[in-house]
Structure 1
Amino acid sequence: MPGRQSEEQPVEMKAAEDEAEVGLGGLTLEELQQGQEAALALEDMMTLSAQTLVQAEVDELYQEVRPLGQGRFGRVLLVTHRQKGTPMALKQLPKPPTSLRGFLYEFCVGLSLGTHSAIVATYGIGIESADSYSFLTEPVLHGDLMAFIQPKVGLPPPAVQRCAAQLASALEHIHAHGLVYRDVKPENVLVCDPDCQRVKLTDFGHTRPRGTLLRLTGPPIPYTAPELCAPPPLPEGLPIQPALDAWALGVLVFCLLTGYFPWDQPLAEADPFYEDFVIWQASGQPQDRPQPWYGLAPAADALLWGLLEPHPRRRSPVGSIRGYLGRPWRQWEGEAGVVGQAEEEGRQ
C-alpha cells in the first residue's frame, strides 16, 4: 500500500468573494470567512509561540529513549525529562529544510486541536536548537495503523468500525476549527494499544485553513480527491474544503476493510479500477459490483458511495460514518461481529 503524500503546493489565502459561488471548488461567503478566521487565529498563536521558544539543545533537557518514527521532514523520539522523568514524544525538524514559520505553524495547529480524544495532544513547549526545531506531544507507543493492516485482509471488522468512528470524530473537530487536515492515511494514525482499541490522528504539517488555494504539482495517489486532479477553477489553485478529507477517509476505510486500495489514482481515463467504480456508482445497482468491491456489505456500499462521490458538493461529510456503525460492513460479517462500542466512540 503506497503511503507517499502527493506533492501539493499551498498558496496563501486570498479574499476572493467574487469567486465564492457554490460550485466545483467554490466557497460560500460563510465558508470563506470561517477559513479566514482560522488563519488569523493561527497567526496570533504563532506570534506568541515565537516569543516563548526555549533556546536549548534537546539533549540538555531530555534523555532519548528510542525512536518512534522517521519521516521525510523529521523524526519522532520517545524521551524522558532529565529532572522529572516524564515520558513524552519529541518531534524534531532539522534546519535549514524547516523554516521557523513552518515549524511554528505545525506546532500551533497541533496546540489548537489537541483537546480531542482521537488527536495526539501537543504540549505547549517549543524548542529551538542550533540545528533543529522541536516540540513535545503525548507519547503513543504502538506504532501507526499501517502495521496493523493485513494485506488483502485489512483489519478485523470491529476494529474497522472503531477506527472509522474515531477518525471521523477527529476530522469533524478539525473542520469545526475552520481547518482541512489533508493527509488522511494509515501512517498518520497512531495506535494506542496492541488490540487497536484507540487511535489518534497526528502530523499536521499539511493542515490548512478552509479556502486556502491549493494546486496539485505531482502525480495523484489513491487518497487524492478527483477535484484536485482537474484543472483548478482559479488560476492560483483550488479553494480547499473538508470534502477532501471525506474522500481520503473513504479510501482509508476501504483499505481497512480489504487490505488494498480501490484504485491507484482517481482518473477514469488512466485507471480502469476507478472507471469501473464510477460506472458502478452511477448505475445505482450495488449488486453489479466491480471485482475489488466483492465482499462488502450494503451498508459499506452506501457509506463509501457517499464518501467517494466524485463531485465534492455532493460528497457525504466525514460524520456520515455514524449512520452506519453497528451494521455489517462485510458480507460474511454477522451482527455479533460488529462492536457496539463504535457507536459511542463516534459520538466523542
Structure 2
Amino acid sequence: MPGKQPEPGPAKVVASEDSAEESLGGLTPQELQQGQAAALALEDRMALSLQTLVHAEVEQLYEEVRPLGRGRFGRVVLVTHRQKGTSLALKQLPKTSTSLRSFLYEFCVGLSLGPHPAIVAAFGIGIESADSYSFLTEPVLHGDLIAFIQPKVGLTQPAAQRCAAQLASALEHIHAHGLVYRDLKPENVLVCDPACQRFKLADFGHTRPRGTLLRLAGPPIPYTAPELCAPPPLPEGLPIQPALDAWALGVLLFCLLTGYFPWDQPLEDADPFYEDFLVWRASGQAQDRPQPWFGLAPAADALLWGLLDPHPRRRSPVGAVQDYLGQPWRQRDGEASELAAGAGEGGQ
C-alpha cells in the first residue's frame, strides 16, 4: 500500500494524554496499549537480534540454486546449506538501499509472529555480509499469487475460498500480535502447490504496530483504504488499525473472483467505478449493481460490502470471511470467463 515508509522505529504510536477516544486518533485506550506493547516487544527483539547477527559472506555458507522472486528492495533465492544440504529461502537486501535498522525490523517482525500455517516461517538466522543483509525462511517454490490470477477470470471458486480463508487466518494472527500488515497484494501471497491448495503470506517490511501514525504518500491504489485518502485526524497522520487490512482483503477477494480491480482508487470524485459502488451501497437495489460486480452471488456481495465499508469502524474484520465459506460466491462457478466479455474493467 502506498504511504510514507520511514525508517521503522522506534514506532511512533500515538500517545495518550487523556481518556477521550478523539485524542487518540480514533483508537480506544485498549487498542493503543496493544500497539505500544507490540512496538516495545519489537524493539527488544531487534536489540537481541543485533547481537546475534552472523558476519559472513552468504556464498561461504550457502549455495544458490535459483531465484524465487525479486522485489523493489531485494531478492529471494533458493539456497542449500553447504554442509547439511538443507534447502532454504534466503532474502537478500543490499546495503545501498537498506539500513541495518530496516533489515532488523523486517527480520524481527517475521520472528515475532511465530508459527502459523499461512505465514512464511522465519528462521532466527540473520546474516550481515560486506554488501548486504540477509535472513532465512522456509522455501515456497511455486511463485506468488499474481501468476495464478487469470485476467478477467480470477481463480476457481474453491481456490478463491481457500485463499480467502487462509489469508484471513494469517491476518487475524498478525492483528492478535498488535500489528497491522499493510501490504496485502497478490505479489506478497506465495502459492505452495500448483493446485492452489495452500497459500502463505510473506514480506513484512511494511507491517507496523497498531496506532503507528501514517500519511499517504503518492496517489492511492485500489488496496488503499479510503480513510488514508482523507485528511488525517492528527497532524502527524492516521493511527493505523486492522481495518486497513480488511479493506485490502476485500479488494483482493474481488480480484480473485473477477480477475480485475473493482476501481483504480477509492475516491468518489475521481473514480467512476468507486462512485458507482457507493451509489449501489446507498440504494441497496439490485438494479443499481455496477457492471464489474455482475455475476457475484449474494454471499459474495454481503462479504465484500462488509470488508469494503468506507467507514473503518463499521468495516467487517478479516475473520468475517469464515461466515461465508461453503456458500456460492459466483452466480455459477465458471461464469467469470463469461462475465469478462460484458463487465467493465474496474481498474486493470
What TM-score bracket applies, with the shorter chain setting the length?
over 0.9
When residues 39 and 286 of structure 1 are mapped into structure 2, their CA distance, relative to the original with a 3 A threshold, is: farther
Q: What is the SS of the residue equivalent to 1:314?
A: coil
Question: In structure 2, what is the equivalent of residue 192 of structure 1?
Answer: 192
Q: Residue type of the partner of 1:83?
A: Q
Between the aligned partners of 2:328 and 2:114, the Cα distance in structure 1 is 32
**1:266-285 equivalence runs, <5 A:** 266-285=266-285
Aligned pairs for 1:165-314 (under 5 A) are 165-314=165-314
- The aligned residue for residue 54 of structure 2 is 54
Q: Which amino acid aligns with 1:37?
A: A
- TM-score of the superposed pair, with normalisation by structure 1: 0.92
Local SS of the residue matching 2:257: helix
TM-score relative to the length of structure 2: 0.92
Distance change (3 Å), C-alpha of 1:115 and 1:80: same
Tell me whether 274-283 or 79-88 shows the greater mean CA deviation: 274-283
Taking the aligned partners of 1:57 and 1:298, their CA distance within structure 2 comes to 55
Cα distance in 1, alignment partners of residues 92 and 285 from structure 2: 50
Deviations 1:262-287 (A, max 9, x none): 00000000000000001111222245
> Any residues of structure 2 matched to 1:13-28 within 5 Å, and which?
13-18=13-18, 21=21, 26-28=26-28
Letter of the 1:56 counterpart: A
Partner of 1:129: 129
- Cα distance, 1:22 vs structure 2: 5.9
> Which residue in the other structure is 2:162 paired with?
162
SS in 2 for 1:91: strand
Which of these residues, 4, 7, 13, is aligned with residue 8 of structure 1?
A: 4
Spell out, residue by residue over 1:81-123, the C-alpha distance to the aligned partner (whole angstroms, 9 max, x if none).
Answer: 0000000000000003111111000000001114010000000
The residue number in structure 2 matching 1:342 is none
Q: Distance in 1 between matches of 2:133 and 2:256?
A: 34
**Which amino acid in structure 1 is aligned with residue 4 of structure 2?**
E
Aligned structure 1 segments of 4 or more residues deviating by more than 4 angstroms = 22-25
Percent sequence identity over aligned pairs:
82
Distance in structure 2 (CA, Å) of the matches to 1:103 and 1:145: 25
- Relative to structure 1, is the Cα distance of residues 80 and 20 closer, same or farther in structure 2, using a 3 angstrom cutoff? farther
- Root-mean-square deviation (Å): 1.5
SS at match of 2:215: strand
**8 A contact 2:16–2:23 mirrored in 1:** no
What residue is the counterpart of 2:342 in the other structure? none
Contact 1:190 1:202 in 2 (8 A): yes
Q: Helix, strand or coil for the counterpart of 2:21?
A: coil
Assess, with a 3 A threshold, how the Cα gap between structure 1 residues 32 and 200 changes in structure 2: closer, same or farther.
same
CA distance in 1, matches of 2:195, 2:329: 20
Shift of 1:12: 2.0
| Structure 2 residue aligned with 1:85 | 85
The residue that corresponds to 1:33 in the other structure is 33
Distance 1:290 1:276 in 2: 6
What amino acid maps onto 2:161 in structure 1?
Answer: Q
Question: How far apart, in 1, do the equivalents of 2:305 and 2:287 lie?
Answer: 13
CA shift digits 1:306-331 (9 cap, x unpaired): 00000000000000000000000001
Structure 1 gaps, min length 5? 335-348
CA distance in 2, matches of 1:307, 1:81: 43
Deviations 1:251-272 (Å, cap 9, x if unpaired)? 0000000000000000000000
- 2:153 counterpart letter in structure 1: V
Q: Is structure 2 residue 326 aligned with structure 1 residue 330?
A: no
Task: Report the residue type matching 2:206 in the other structure.
Answer: H
Q: Describe how 1:60-99 pairs up with structure 2 within 5 A.
A: 60-99=60-99
**Secondary structure in structure 2 of the residue aligned to 1:313:** coil
CA distance in 1, matches of 2:196, 2:23: 39
* Number of aligned residues: 330
Letter in 2 for 1:314: R
Structure 2 residue aligned with 1:45: 45
Q: What is the distance in 1 between the residues matched to 2:20 and 2:260?
A: 37
Quick one: distance in 1 between partners of 2:209 and 2:18? 19
